[in-house]
Amino acid sequence: MRVEIWTDIACPWCYVGKARFEKALGAFPHRDEVEVVHRSFELDPHRAKGDIEPVLGMLTKKYGMSEAQAQAGENNLGAQAAAEGLEYRTEGRDHGSTFDMHRLLHLAKEQGRQDELINVLYRANFAEERSVFDGDERLVELAAAAGLDADEARAVLADPARYADEVRADEREAAELGANGVPFFVLDRRYGVSGAQPAEVFAQALEQAWSSRAPLTTIAAATDGDGEACGPDGCAVPQR
Amino acid sequence: MRVEIWTDIACPWCYVGKARFEKALGAFPHRDEVEVVHRSFELDPHRAKGDIEPVLGMLTKKYGMSEAQAQAGENNLGAQAAAEGLEYRTEGRDHGSTFDMHRLLHLAKEQGRQDELINVLYRANFAEERSVFDGDERLVELAAAAGLDADEARAVLADPARYADEVRADEREAAELGANGVPFFVLDRRYGVSGAQPAEVFAQALEQAWSSRAPLTTIAAATDGDGEACGPDGCAVPQR
């Protein structure tokens, strides 16, 4: 079974939702047969690289919140994160473009290190004092901490075309699947879970997707039901 | 969309079927949104490493064919392969355990090089004079030719436990999906194509799986339809 999770590194509910999902997955009897893939979704896709501002300032400016409202929201998110055992700095975080992080996540995916990198990036963005938007070398260090080769990460960051199509393709797919926010969880392309639902909801979704796995619909040539195949009893040899 | 292909390196129809599938995929308008994964299936899972014999001898012994029948079958397969532009040695090939090759294919999958390695292994088994069963160093060279690190491949080969569970899990899944021979193609876990069908059948399967992509069934907590999520308009902040 496959679970795809659309996320943004700048999304606090994605950080919290991942922990809730993993709690459910850890208790799922068939967890060893579940493959998890992280997919890209930018909350702020039009923000330019280098256009960085404090999260609280962005919240008051973009959404017209008072500073007190914005801070209360951050405090609330911090409490929700703490309830999942996650560190969360409620003050002093930055907001910026996450496009390069998504490109690195696609590099990491190719090397089987996507989960390692997303954990490192989440921690850097939500828990560490140094801003995650502190230039390419900051991201190179984080990639290396996740087990990627530093030079390879540096080369990807230096060329904005690398993995850009993969990021866009993920975002297009999210829209096609009906996601207008993240985190967005898709199980075997049949079930969807939107948002950082409680762990019990993820447990139910895993159970439901598992138990409702349907038999495949077979497609074959009209003249040749099973095609030319090899099995334990040898290979079908065409007599033509 | 995702296509999983269960195959064995020792399976001539898998070699031919891959070419036919790729012909269809190359002409499929949404080919850039199709991800292909190769999965393990051993035709002869009980054969010990090092238990090697000529293919023709195996065919006469195991299936009670006359030598002429076995050779005619190989000639026929050679003609089918040639029709797809593939080289195929109809004489002098060996048969043996492919377990280690499947373990290497899982290593390659982690590094995004699975398709490269399977092509190298097929070519080595079906077209090259030197046997693909010529010891671990032969496989190390082939892995390196597919872009894997030779030392890493050597380490995997030296430890029979590495990726063994992944091979077995693929084989268990094949059985659960109803495959009793290979190649076996599964599209989005909804459609199945058994055998080296003509390219037109793969084209039809791709088209059908693409056009019938169904909307997701949403699973949510009774109290909170959309969960706690972030979207272009900010993050939902719980007021509790």
Question: Tens digit of pLDDT for each residue in A34-49?
Answer: 999 999 999 999 999 9
In a domain, B240, yes or no: no
- Side-chain half-sphere exposure of B30, counting CA atoms within 13 A: 18
Report how many domains make up chain B.
1
Euclidean distance between CA atoms A1 and A205, whole angstroms: 12
Contacting residues of B for A13, CB less than 8 Å apart: 227-230, 235-236
In a domain, A88, yes or no: yes
In a domain, B223, yes or no: yes
In a domain, A167, yes or no: yes
Rounded average pLDDT over A95-123: 96
Residue B21: name the closest of B238, B161, B187 by CA. Answer: B187
Which region, left, alpha or beta, applies to residue A86 given φ > 0 means left and ψ of -120 to 50 means alpha?
beta
- Kindly state the helix (H) or strand (E) to which residue A78 belongs, with its residue range: helix A67-83
In a domain, A32, yes or no: yes
Question: Tens digit of pLDDT for each residue in A10-42?
Answer: 999 999 999 999 999 999 999 998 999 999 999
User: What is the least distance, in Å, from the CA of B136 to any CA of chain A?
Assistant: 24
8-state DSSP, A33: G
Give me the residue label for tokens 């031919």.
B16
Question: Tens digit of pLDDT for each residue in A72-85?
Answer: 999 999 999 999 99
**Side chain identity at residue B72, one-letter code:** A
- Is the pLDDT at A111 greater than 90, yes or no? no
Mutate to test the interface with A, among B43, B235, B239, B240 (most CBs of A within 10 A): B235
Give me the tens of pLDDT residue by residue for chain B, a chain 240 residues long: 999 999 999 999 999 999 999 999 999 999 998 999 999 999 999 999 999 999 999 999 988 889 999 999 999 999 999 999 999 999 999 999 999 999 999 999 988 899 999 999 999 999 999 999 999 999 999 999 999 999 999 999 999 999 999 999 999 999 989 998 999 999 999 999 999 999 999 999 999 999 998 889 999 887 655 578 998 888 876 544
Q: Which residue of B has its CA nearest to A15?
A: B229
Would you call A230 and B112 a contact, using CB atoms and an 8 Å cutoff?
no
State residue B238's pLDDT score: 54
List strand residue ranges (DSSP E) for B153-221, in order: 184-187, 191-194, 217-218
In a domain, A58, yes or no: yes
8-state DSSP, B134: S
CATH classification of the domain holding B83: 3.40.30.10
Would you call A216 and B177 a contact, using CB atoms and an 8 Å cutoff?
yes
In a domain, A240, yes or no: no
Euclidean distance between CA atoms A225 and A106, whole angstroms: 39
Would you call A173 and B217 a contact, using CB atoms and an 8 Å cutoff?
no
Would you call B191 and A230 a contact, using CB atoms and an 8 Å cutoff?
no
Domain that holds residue B191: 2-235
In a domain, B151, yes or no: yes
Would you call A192 and B217 a contact, using CB atoms and an 8 Å cutoff?
yes
Question: B230 in helix, strand or coil?
Answer: strand
